[in-house]
Each structure stands twice: as C-alpha cells, then as structure tokens.
Amino acid sequence: MLNHIAGADRPAATGETMELIDPATGRVHRHSPRSGRADTDAACAAAAAAYTHWSTTTPAVRQRALLGIADAIEEHAEAFAAAETGDTGKPSHLFMTEELPAIVDSVRFFAGAARNLPGAAAGEYTEGRTSLLRREPVGVCAQITPWNYPLMMAVWKIAPAIAAGNTTVLKPADTTPSSSALLARVTAEHLPPGVLNVVCGDRDTGRELVAHRDVALVAVTGSVRAGRQIATAAAVDLKRVHLELGGNAPVLVHDDVDAEATAAALAAVAYYNAGQDCTAPTRFLIHHRIHDVFLTAFAAEAAKLRTGAPDADFGPLNNAAQLASVQELLGRLPGHAGIVTGGARLARPGFFHEPTVVAGVRQDDEIVQEEIFGPVVTVQSFADEEEALALADDVRHGLAASVWTTDHDRAMRATRALRTGIVWVNTHGTTVSEMPHGGVGHSGYGSDLSMAGLLDYTQVKHVML
C-alpha cells in the first residue's frame, strides 16, 4: 500500500511503515506508510497546484468526473470489499449489501448536486449599484476519516469537496487506510493529478496536515477528543472546521407499541458493525409499563446474534484498544447495574465481543453519559413523556435519536424537543444522500450528505457593480 500524491503512488519519504492488524485474527495482514512532514507538504502542494485549475472547471466537468468515480467503485466492488474487510474484520457480505450501494449513491448524488448549487438573485440594495453573490470553493481541504466505516466516510468527505471545486488531502485512520488508498488509485482515471491526494499515517501525520498553511478547511469524523484537538489546532491559523463527532443515541419506546416487535427491530440495528456507529441506538428508554417485556424480548434477540464467523451478524471491534475500552467500561459498572446478556470477549483470536445488554443503570452512570462505541446497550425506564425527553437530552452528545410510538402528536412533539441533528420515528439508522447527517453539542457541527454538506465546502462572495 502506498500514498497517492499528485496522481502517483509513492511510499512515505522516510520509507517508514506501520503494521495493519486484521481485527478478525489479531494478526498483521499488511503494512501502510507512516507519512511525515515531507509527505504532507508534497500532498498539500499538489492540492494547491491542482486547485488553480479544478476550481475553475464547470459543474458539468465535475459531475462527469464523479459519475465516472461512482461507476469505477462499482466495477472494483470485490477489491474494495477485500480492502475494507481486511482492515475492519466486518463480514464481507454486509459491506457488499449494506454499505457499498449507499457509498455509490452518495457519489452520484453529489455529482448531480454539483450542477445545482443554489444562488441568490442579483438586486439593488443601494442607489445606483447592483449586488450579486458568488458561491465559490474554499480551497485545499484536509479531511480525516475514522476506522468504523473507512470507505463510506472517505466518500462522504471527498465527494462534496470535489463537487464544489475544492481539492483535498485525505488522511484515513491509521488502522484502516486500505480502501482509501484503493479509492485514490481508482479515481486517478477520472480526476486531474492533485485533486485527490491520500496520505496514510498516524496522529502525528494528522497534526502536520491540520497545521499546514495551504489548508483552508479541515473536516474530520472522529471522537470528541480528536475534534477538540483539531479545532484548537485549526484555530491558530483561523481555518474553517467541519466536525462530525461522537454520538450517544437515545431510543424512546412508548407503551402504545408492540414491545416484542419493537425489540426485534431495534436489535437488528443496535449491533450492526459491532455498535461502532455514532448513530447506533445505545440508550434505550422504555415506558415503565412495557419495560420488563421489552427488556426480556430485546435480550433474547441480542443473544441470537452471531459474531466471529464469515456469515455473522456483525464483526469484531476494530482494534485491541477499543476492545479494552469496552471491557473496562463494563468492568466499572456500579453495583445497581447488571449485565442481562453478553458481557464478555469471545474466546477466540481477534477482537470479538458478545452482544451485551445492561439494565438497572441510572442517568448519571458513566455507561449512560459516555459513548460506548461497541456492542453494548443500556436500558432504563421512564414514567411519562416529559421524563423520557429529559433523560434523552441529558447527555453532552446530540447526533441522533429515535422515537417509537403510534401517536402522531407525541412523535411530532418529540421531534421538536429532542436536541439532536437527526430524529427517526419508528425506525432507526436509515440514511439517505439527500438529507443532512450532523449533530449538535459534543457531536460537532457541520453536515455530511445533502445540499447542506455541499454548501459546507463553499464560501460566499459579495460582488457590487
């Protein structure tokens, strides 16, 4: 595996590499470059040089390039699946059926969106002068992606940036760079050199990239800690920042639904990707009248789920540190909380963990307040609608939530009251390219997907004639 800079594949300037561990085995399966300042300098210089031309291309040119990229991803689907599953350990069939079609759709959406940027009509706001607005690209973008959905998050970042006329340097997570490196090679047939550059490396590589003087905008999907550090570093040079950070999604289940059917529907979502999803349903708030029935049904559904096999329902945690984090969190459970099902690492190679349900928790417990990012959910009860909403909003994250009820008015009240960027009603986790994906509070600011995501990679210029 190599970096991709100025249209060519190349190793790190120092020749240093990092081991990549297959989470399904715990063994080294390949190596990637450990990029340093010379590599980020070269990538940013290539992006800055390419911006001079790419920023002046017509939307039609950018659309054709993105449509070509979408077709190329489909054509190389098996190679992308191998790259993705090798780094993440997730079952290949789930990547092919649940993720790849959405990835391709996102690229095609932004291809169309490139030709539909909104603009304000010209007008006279002072005597004798006409004002108009130009919507222009920002410049060179530094984009940093996480390890839970490597290819999907890369596409969510690069597609709107390129569609808007920007150039970019992408730094994938240190444990999952393979599909991003492949993406750069595949897109080389459709983009001029320097429009998309990929530098692999560790946190130091990311710090070098964020601090680079050629970078105008920094976009990151990652943890709250990483977001704080990046926002602080970017502030030194007053760079624009786009943050999609953690989540701790509440699920409000009212007593007018079928408890067992709702439990079955939610179990299928809660453990997808081993719960390593910032919108994963994590905090289950259940009306006290159906709490016990729901808990029993949900725990039974969770116990049926399989991991640790090629045809499993979910794969391993991404790395040893994340597995340890989940185990340590469970080990610190207070005495009033208990594990209903699961709770242990699988006795086999790799970073597999049982689907786990924790009940008896209280609102101020660590496991309720902090993002778990693993195959673990908590269950609490509530007395009425007011308490449910209060519990849902009583955390620092604000990315997503879902409400389960047959009462339309209650559902609409919840969608207004919940302080999150996304609210689902009687479903959870569904995303579409046309709608924004972003949060509030410690979940960050800025939107992925949709026209809102495209506009985040533009700036407005006032012209007066």
Kindly tell me the burial class for residue 460, based on how many C-beta atoms sit within 10 Å of its own C-beta (0-12, 13-18, 19 or more). Answer: exposed
CA distance 269 to 271: 6
Kindly tell me the burial class for residue 420, based on how many C-beta atoms sit within 10 Å of its own C-beta (0-12, 13-18, 19 or more). Answer: buried
Asked if 69 contacts 184 with a C-beta cutoff of 8 angstroms, the reply is no
Query: Of 57, 236, 244, which Cα lies nearest the Cα of 149?
Result: 244
Of the residues 244, 354, 371, 385, only one is catalytic, namely 244
User: CA 201, 206, 211, 212 torsion: positive or negative?
Assistant: positive
- At residue 445's C-alpha, the angle toward residues 145 and 417, to 5°, is 125
Residue written as token pair 């984090």? 325
Three-class SS of residue 119?
Answer: coil
Asked if 226 contacts 220 with a C-beta cutoff of 8 angstroms, the reply is yes
Of the residues 200, 278, 301, 385, only one is catalytic, namely 278
Residue written as token pair 């990012």? 373
Question: Does 278 participate in catalysis according to the annotation?
Answer: yes
Three-class SS of residue 396?
Answer: coil
Question: The tokens of 355 are what?
Answer: 């689907």
Question: Does 244 participate in catalysis according to the annotation?
Answer: yes
CA distance 20 to 180: 14
Active site residues: 244, 278
